[in-house]
Copies of this chain bind each other. A is one copy, B any other.
Protein backbone atom coordinates (compact mmCIF):
# COMPACT_ATOMS: atom_id res chain seq x y z
CA UNK A 1 0.00 0.00 0.00
CA UNK A 2 1.32 3.44 -0.96
CA UNK A 3 3.25 5.41 1.64
CA UNK A 4 4.31 9.06 1.85
CA UNK A 5 7.28 10.24 3.89
CA UNK A 6 8.14 13.55 5.40
CA UNK A 7 11.88 13.76 5.87
CA UNK A 8 12.58 16.46 8.44
CA UNK A 9 15.33 18.93 7.63
CA UNK A 10 16.84 18.34 11.07
CA UNK A 11 17.91 14.87 9.93
CA UNK A 12 20.02 16.11 7.04
CA UNK A 13 22.82 17.85 8.91
CA UNK A 14 24.62 17.11 12.17
CA UNK A 15 25.41 19.74 14.77
CA UNK A 16 28.70 20.62 13.10
CA UNK A 17 26.74 21.51 10.00
CA UNK A 18 27.91 18.51 8.00
CA UNK A 19 25.60 16.32 6.02
CA UNK A 20 24.52 13.01 7.52
CA UNK A 21 26.04 10.76 4.87
CA UNK A 22 25.35 7.43 6.58
CA UNK A 23 21.77 8.28 7.36
CA UNK A 24 21.13 9.33 3.76
CA UNK A 25 22.76 6.22 2.39
CA UNK A 26 20.61 4.00 4.60
CA UNK A 27 17.51 5.90 3.50
CA UNK A 28 18.45 5.35 -0.13
CA UNK A 29 18.98 1.63 0.46
CA UNK A 30 15.55 1.32 2.05
CA UNK A 31 13.89 3.27 -0.77
CA UNK A 32 15.52 1.10 -3.40
CA UNK A 33 14.04 -2.01 -1.77
CA UNK A 34 10.63 -0.83 -0.63
CA UNK A 35 8.39 -0.16 -3.61
CA UNK A 36 5.49 1.30 -1.61
CA UNK A 37 7.05 4.66 -0.88
CA UNK A 38 5.73 7.06 -3.53
CA UNK A 39 6.32 10.53 -2.16
CA UNK A 40 8.98 12.18 -0.02
CA UNK A 41 8.89 15.76 1.22
CA UNK A 42 12.16 17.13 2.55
CA UNK A 43 12.54 19.99 4.99
CA UNK A 44 15.08 22.79 4.92
CA UNK A 45 17.11 22.14 8.06
CA UNK A 46 20.24 23.96 9.16
CA UNK A 47 20.99 25.79 5.94
CA UNK A 48 17.43 27.03 5.57
CA UNK A 49 17.69 28.38 9.08
CA UNK A 50 20.95 30.16 8.20
CA UNK A 51 19.46 31.95 5.20
CA UNK A 52 16.36 32.84 7.18
CA UNK A 53 18.45 34.24 10.02
CA UNK A 54 20.56 36.28 7.61
CA UNK A 55 17.49 37.62 5.88
CA UNK A 56 15.72 38.47 9.10
CA UNK A 57 18.76 40.31 10.43
CA UNK A 58 18.75 42.32 7.21
CA UNK A 59 15.09 43.27 7.62
CA UNK A 60 13.41 40.95 5.10
CA UNK A 61 9.78 40.05 5.89
CA UNK A 62 8.59 36.64 7.10
CA UNK A 63 6.87 35.68 3.85
CA UNK A 64 10.03 36.27 1.87
CA UNK A 65 12.10 34.36 4.43
CA UNK A 66 9.77 31.42 3.90
CA UNK A 67 10.62 31.52 0.21
CA UNK A 68 14.30 31.22 1.07
CA UNK A 69 13.47 28.25 3.29
CA UNK A 70 11.44 26.65 0.50
CA UNK A 71 14.36 27.14 -1.90
CA UNK A 72 16.70 25.30 0.47
CA UNK A 73 14.21 22.48 1.04
CA UNK A 74 14.13 22.07 -2.75
CA UNK A 75 17.92 21.78 -2.94
CA UNK A 76 17.68 19.04 -0.33
CA UNK A 77 15.04 17.40 -2.51
CA UNK A 78 17.34 17.73 -5.51
CA UNK A 79 20.18 16.12 -3.56
CA UNK A 80 17.94 13.19 -2.66
CA UNK A 81 16.87 12.77 -6.29
CA UNK A 82 20.53 12.65 -7.26
CA UNK A 83 21.11 9.86 -4.77
CA UNK A 84 18.08 7.81 -5.79
CA UNK A 85 18.78 7.76 -9.51
CA UNK A 86 16.11 6.34 -11.77
CA UNK A 87 13.61 5.24 -9.12
CA UNK A 88 12.95 8.95 -8.46
CA UNK A 89 11.06 11.36 -10.68
CA UNK A 90 13.98 13.38 -12.07
CA UNK A 91 12.59 16.85 -11.36
CA UNK A 92 11.81 18.41 -7.96
CA UNK A 93 8.03 18.36 -7.40
CA UNK A 94 6.77 21.96 -7.12
CA UNK A 95 3.03 21.61 -7.69
CA UNK A 96 0.22 19.14 -7.12
CA UNK A 97 0.23 18.49 -10.88
CA UNK A 98 3.92 17.54 -10.80
CA UNK A 99 3.14 15.12 -7.98
CA UNK A 100 0.40 13.50 -10.03
CA UNK A 101 2.61 13.16 -13.06
CA UNK A 102 5.39 11.51 -11.02
CA UNK A 103 2.86 9.09 -9.58
CA UNK A 104 1.46 8.35 -13.03
CA UNK A 105 5.00 7.46 -14.13
CA UNK A 106 5.44 5.19 -11.10
CA UNK A 107 8.42 7.17 -9.83
CA UNK A 108 9.04 8.47 -6.31
CA UNK A 109 8.10 12.15 -6.33
CA UNK A 110 10.40 14.28 -4.19
CA UNK A 111 9.54 17.80 -3.14
CA UNK A 112 10.41 20.55 -0.70
CA UNK A 113 8.00 23.24 0.46
CA UNK A 114 5.26 24.74 -1.71
CA UNK A 115 4.12 28.14 -0.44
CA UNK A 116 4.98 30.66 2.30
CA UNK A 117 3.12 30.09 5.55
CA UNK A 118 2.91 26.29 5.20
CA UNK A 119 4.76 23.59 7.09
CA UNK A 120 6.26 20.76 5.04
CA UNK A 121 3.92 18.45 6.96
CA UNK A 122 1.07 20.28 5.24
CA UNK A 123 2.75 19.79 1.87
CA UNK A 124 3.17 16.08 2.61
CA UNK A 125 -0.54 15.82 3.32
CA UNK A 126 -1.55 17.87 0.26
CA UNK A 127 0.40 15.49 -1.94
CA UNK A 128 -0.83 12.38 -0.10
CA UNK A 129 -4.43 13.53 -0.58
CA UNK A 130 -3.87 14.29 -4.23
CA UNK A 131 -2.58 10.85 -5.09
CA UNK A 132 -4.71 8.93 -2.57
CA UNK A 133 -1.95 7.78 -0.25
CA UNK A 134 -3.35 6.52 3.05
CA UNK A 135 -0.20 6.03 5.13
CA UNK A 136 2.22 8.73 6.11
CA UNK A 137 5.47 8.45 8.02
CA UNK A 138 7.01 11.54 9.57
CA UNK A 139 10.74 11.14 10.11
CA UNK A 140 11.85 13.63 12.76
CA UNK A 141 14.53 13.85 15.43
CA UNK A 142 12.30 12.79 18.32
CA UNK A 143 11.03 9.34 19.30
CA UNK A 144 7.36 10.24 19.16
CA UNK A 145 4.82 12.61 20.64
CA UNK A 146 5.13 13.24 24.38
CA UNK A 147 2.84 14.79 26.91
CA UNK A 148 5.61 17.30 27.72
CA UNK A 149 8.81 18.37 25.98
CA UNK A 150 11.10 15.36 26.63
CA UNK A 151 14.20 17.53 26.30
CA UNK A 152 13.11 19.55 29.32
CA UNK A 153 11.14 17.06 31.39
CA UNK A 154 12.56 13.74 32.51
CA UNK A 155 9.13 12.35 33.33
CA UNK A 156 7.67 13.11 29.89
CA UNK A 157 5.62 10.16 28.59
CA UNK A 158 5.50 9.08 24.96
CA UNK A 159 2.09 8.30 23.44
CA UNK A 160 1.77 5.10 21.39
CA UNK A 161 -1.32 6.60 19.84
CA UNK A 162 -2.96 9.98 19.97
CA UNK A 163 -6.10 11.37 18.37
CA UNK A 164 -5.97 14.50 16.21
CA UNK A 165 -8.22 16.15 18.76
CA UNK A 166 -5.87 15.52 21.68
CA UNK A 167 -2.88 16.48 19.56
CA UNK A 168 -4.55 19.75 18.70
CA UNK A 169 -4.87 20.58 22.39
CA UNK A 170 -1.22 19.74 22.99
CA UNK A 171 -0.19 22.02 20.14
CA UNK A 172 -2.41 24.93 21.12
CA UNK A 173 -0.94 24.87 24.63
CA UNK A 174 2.70 24.86 23.56
CA UNK A 175 2.55 26.93 20.50
CA UNK A 176 4.61 30.05 21.20
CA UNK A 177 6.01 31.06 17.85
CA UNK A 178 4.63 28.68 15.31
CA UNK A 179 4.24 31.18 12.50
CA UNK A 180 7.75 32.62 12.14
CA UNK A 181 9.53 31.48 8.98
CA UNK A 182 11.58 28.35 9.57
CA UNK A 183 9.92 27.67 12.93
CA UNK A 184 7.05 25.50 11.82
CA UNK A 185 6.55 22.73 14.28
CA UNK A 186 6.09 19.19 13.06
CA UNK A 187 2.36 19.61 13.39
CA UNK A 188 0.82 22.94 12.82
CA UNK A 189 -2.87 23.57 13.03
CA UNK A 190 -3.29 23.55 9.27
CA UNK A 191 -1.95 20.11 8.82
CA UNK A 192 -4.29 18.97 11.57
CA UNK A 193 -7.23 20.22 9.51
CA UNK A 194 -6.03 18.10 6.61
CA UNK A 195 -5.64 15.05 8.89
CA UNK A 196 -9.21 15.45 9.99
CA UNK A 197 -10.75 15.35 6.56
CA UNK A 198 -8.86 12.27 5.47
CA UNK A 199 -8.59 8.65 6.49
CA UNK A 200 -4.80 8.99 6.44
CA UNK A 201 -2.89 7.13 9.14
CA UNK A 202 0.13 9.07 10.33
CA UNK A 203 3.05 7.74 12.30
CA UNK A 204 5.80 9.93 13.68
CA UNK A 205 9.08 8.11 14.22
CA UNK A 206 12.67 8.98 15.02
CA UNK A 207 14.64 9.14 11.78
CA UNK A 208 18.01 9.66 13.45
CA UNK A 209 18.14 5.87 13.45
CA UNK A 210 16.99 4.62 10.04
CA UNK A 211 16.38 1.13 11.48
CA UNK A 212 13.17 2.61 12.83
CA UNK A 213 11.94 3.19 9.28
CA UNK A 214 13.06 -0.25 8.16
CA UNK A 215 11.38 -1.93 11.11
CA UNK A 216 8.17 0.01 10.69
CA UNK A 217 7.95 -0.95 7.01
CA UNK A 218 8.13 -4.61 8.10
CA UNK A 219 5.73 -4.11 10.97
CA UNK A 220 1.98 -3.61 11.17
CA UNK A 221 1.53 0.12 10.58
CA UNK A 222 -1.33 0.53 13.01
CA UNK A 223 -0.24 -1.68 15.88
CA UNK A 224 3.52 -1.06 15.73
CA UNK A 225 5.16 0.33 18.86
CA UNK A 226 7.66 2.44 16.91
CA UNK A 227 6.96 6.12 17.40
CA UNK A 228 3.44 7.49 17.80
CA UNK A 229 0.38 6.81 15.69
CA UNK A 230 -1.94 9.74 15.06
CA UNK A 231 -5.55 8.76 14.51
CA UNK A 232 -8.43 10.78 13.16
CA UNK A 233 -10.39 10.52 16.43
A residues contacting B by CB (< 8 A) are: 17, 19, 21, 24-25, 47, 50-51, 54-55, 57-58, 60-64, 67-68, 71-72, 74-75, 78-79, 82-83, 86, 89-91, 96-97, 100-101, 103-105, 107, 114-117, 122, 125-126, 129-130, 132, 172, 178-181, 188-190, 192-194, 196-198
Across-interface contacts of A116 in B (CB, < 8 A)? 96, 126, 129-130
Q: List 28 A-B contacts (CB under 8 A).
A: A17-B17, A21-B54, A24-B58, A51-B79, A60-B79, A60-B82, A68-B75, A68-B79, A71-B75, A71-B78, A72-B75, A75-B75, A90-B101, A90-B104, A91-B101, A104-B107, A114-B115, A115-B115, A115-B126, A116-B126, A117-B122, A117-B190, A117-B193, A179-B193, A188-B190, A189-B189, A189-B192, A190-B193
- A133 to B19: give the CA distance in the assembly, Å: 28
Additional A-B contacts beyond A71-B74, A104-B107, A117-B129 (12; CB < 8 A): A17-B17, A47-B47, A58-B82, A61-B198, A62-B129, A64-B82, A71-B71, A89-B104, A90-B100, A117-B126, A178-B193, A179-B194
Query: How many copies of the chain does the oligomer comprise?
Result: 6
- A72 to B61: give the CA distance in the assembly, Å: 20
